[in-house]
Amino acid sequence: MRVLAAMSGGVDSGVAAARAVEAGHEVVGVHLALSRNPATLRTGARGCCTVEDAHDARRVADVLGIPYYVWDLSEQFAEAVVEDFVAEYEAGRTPNPCLRCNETIKFSALLDKAVALGFDALCTGHYAQVRAGESGPELHRAVDHGKDQSYVLGVLTADQLARAMFPLGDTDKVDVRAEAARRGLAVADKPDSHDICFIADGDTRGWLERRLGSRPGQVTDESGEVLGEHQGAYGFTVGQRKGLSIGRPAPDGRPRYVLDIQPVTNTVVVGPAEALDVRVVVGDRQRWCGAVPDGPVEVTAQVRAHGEAVPAVAEVRPDGSVQVELRQPIRGVATGQAVVLYSGTRVVGSATITATRR
């Protein structure tokens, strides 16, 4: 097969590309330039898509003896991921930019371009597995559950999965680094990137404030009593404990957490931890890896990339939304997050959370 290998400049994508070459495929490497003003160097494990990352990817391609290109998708990334991120926080929601990037950039813009150029598959260093099922390709968790990325890939369609190649899904991360060293890849010991790639310093609130400006408002308790003031409701997320701008402790001395963000009134509501418990989530923008469920289905539901999956019942409602009733509560679920549904290790589908109920 002709395979396009997405090469970030990290160890995972490097070993994934190497395995594709070793399997006998005709492999071409491509690095995505996603930043309009890429930094020259990374700061430890923060950020990605820097000039240094592009050079690292080229060095890996040279070792593998494969053609290598840099494709500029910065305009699409800015619109589909960065601007979406800002708009979601401005609306009081908590987005997952990695999930949105997989949906709109890597497995939409990039895969579409690859297919148009005659490639059969897109190879990435994601930790997940694609298996043949009775009704088509299935997405499953990786063997290394600590690195499993099936959650952020839960937005992929069956057609996209049919052209996806995840060579690392059956391998532990420790073994991937050891393999990179054996292959002579200079990225073998390179730190993993983490946090949000386009906020290299990790200060999300500060980054949003520079984009949206100061918007003073009130911090209240559930009864409406004013407890303090903030400089922008967009700087908070449900479940947050620190940096709440509260001038006095709770009467019982217990910590307070963000319970709700009300963008219309620019109000942040705080309260006790137990008020964060959620037993029902409702979502839209659903994606199904297979047939749409006809009636209630028993699943496990996960609302964070490395969160616990809890037993649940999911059902498509008459209005087209998905309702997920949790067998046990999940604490601190925010609208804008994704709920990904599993049957065992298999991803059944996903949806973007629009409402929660206690």
Residues known to be catalytic: 101, 197
Q: What H or E segment, with its residue span, contains residue 17?
A: helix 11-22
Please report, for residues 68, 131, 142, 149, 200, the alpha-carbon distance to residue 12 in angstroms, rounded to integers and kept in the order given: 17, 20, 13, 12, 20
Among candidates 284, 333, 288, which has minimal Cα distance to 307? Answer: 333
Among candidates 80, 130, 102, which has minimal Cα distance to 289? Answer: 130
Contact present, 152 and 305 (Cβ < 8 Å): yes
Task: Tell me which DSSP letter residue 296 carries.
Answer: -
Q: HSE-up of 254 (CA within 13 Å, CB side)?
A: 8
Q: What H or E segment, with its residue span, contains residue 111?
A: helix 110-116
The pair of three-digit structure tokens given for residue 58, joined into one six-digit string = 């080229």
Contact present, 193 and 45 (Cβ < 8 Å): yes
The region that residue 151 occupies, defined by phi over 0 for left and psi between -120 and 50 for alpha, beta otherwise, is alpha
Which residues are 298's β-sheet partners?
313
Q: Residue 165 and residue 235: Cα distance in Å, rounded?
A: 37
Dihedral sign for Cα atoms in the order 42, 46, 49, 53 = positive
Order the strands of the 2-6 sheet from edge to edge: 68-72, 26-33, 2-6, 121-123, 164-165
Backbone phi, psi, residue 344, to 5° = 65, -125
